[in-house]
Chain A
Amino acid sequence: QITLKESGPTLVKPTQTLTLTCSFSGFSLSTSGVGVGWIRQPPGKALEWLALIYWNDDKRYSPSLKSRLTITKDTSKNQVVLTMTNMDPVDTATYYCAHRPPLITVSRPFDSWGQGALVTVSS
């Protein structure tokens, strides 16, 4: 059974850097084809894809946020970390991490999600 859980601060001040950790079990990020992504959702708004890291350390970022985002993995700890610099109140959102399964017979996107972590940006 795959589980993911986001952790990090619930409140950050404007201009600060946000660091979120996704701790997972039930799969390994050393398995070929596996990925872990980050998605956010401002209150009452749509989902927004942020970043994705693969087993081979291939990284993909949202172009609109690329200058502010860094995604890394620690395979031995079963963790993926997302950092976002220069936080602004508009970044207030629930941040989710999610598992991208390996391509076996067909490509699937995110099949398992964490419960989400609400991050509020306010002074």
Chain B
Amino acid sequence: DIQLTQSPSTLSASVGDRVTITCRASQSVSSWLAWYQQKSGKAPKLLIYKASSLESGVPSRFIGSGFGTEFTLTISSLQPDDFATYSCQQYNSYPWTFGPGTKVE
């Protein structure tokens, strides 16, 4: 199985801040990495797929980058609605796996 790690596990930030979250894979997943946002008690929401492609309807302040084993999700200017947990997921090979999540507070 491909293991995903995320850093940091928790991030304290303020509205307007530029926020960066890192996801690392135990082996290459090429570009087949997605990012989800999850709010408490709610289902995950797809933000980014194929490492850097923005899902329809997602604000352009969410920026994904990376290839192979290292990926980042950047929120260019944190908004009040962005306080949530962010998880990466690889879908390069089965079993698909998720990262442990990063809470932005």
Interface, chain A (partner B; CB < 8 A)? 37, 39, 46-49, 52, 60-64, 96, 98, 106-111, 113-116
B residues contacting the other copy or chain, number (CB 8 A): 24
Set B32, B43, B97, B99: member contacting A107, Cβ < 8 A: B32
- B98 near A113: Cβ-Cβ < 8 Å: no
Please determine whether B49 and A49 come into contact, CB atoms closer than 8 angstroms: no
Q: How far is the CA of A106 from the CA of B49 in the complex (A)?
A: 9
User: With A63-B95, A113-B44 in contact, do A46 and B87 touch (Cβ < 8 Å)?
Assistant: yes
Contact status B34-A108, CB under 8 Å: yes
Contact A109 B89 (CB under 8 A): yes
Bound-complex Cα distance A46 to B96 (A):
13
- Which residue, B32, B95, B97, has most C-beta atoms of chain A within 10 A? B95
* Contact in complex: A109, B43 (CB < 8 Å): no
Beta-carbon contact of B43 and A116 below 8 Å: yes
User: Is B81 among interface residues, defined by CB-CB distance under 8 A?
Assistant: no
What is the bound-complex CA distance between A64 and B36, given in angstroms?
23
Residues of B near A114 (CB, < 8 A) are 43
Identity of the chain B residue whose Cβ is nearest the Cβ of A106 in the assembled complex? B50
B53 at the interface (CB under 8 A from A): yes
